[in-house]
Amino acid sequence: INAIKIDKSFIDDIDTNSDSAVIVEALIELAKKLNLRCIAEGVETNEQLEELKRLNCDIIQGYSISKALPVDKAIEIYNKYNKDK
């Protein structure tokens, strides 16, 4: 195991449901304490994205970042933004 993935059902109402927010925060803290990466899936709004950034979530997946892409297009975008690193 090298990552904890947070299901979209918890992310959906992270900014409106305090129980979901507490669970997400606990999962991110657990991942950090176990030296695992934390992945949030199904991030669709800027509010969700900002909350996950505030909580130091490692990886964000969802339409707020990009719709699903074919592999070649994803590699093209990755290379474009990482060519100077």
Q: Do 44 and 14 touch, CB atoms closer than 8 A?
A: no
pLDDT tens for the chain, residues 1 to 85: 999 999 999 999 998 889 999 999 999 999 999 999 999 999 999 999 999 999 999 999 988 777 888 999 888 888 887 776 5
CA distance 72 to 45: 26
Q: What is residue 85's predicted lDDT score, i.e. its pLDDT?
A: 57
DSSP, res 74:
H
CA distance 1 to 37: 10
CA–chain centroid gap for 1, Å, is: 17
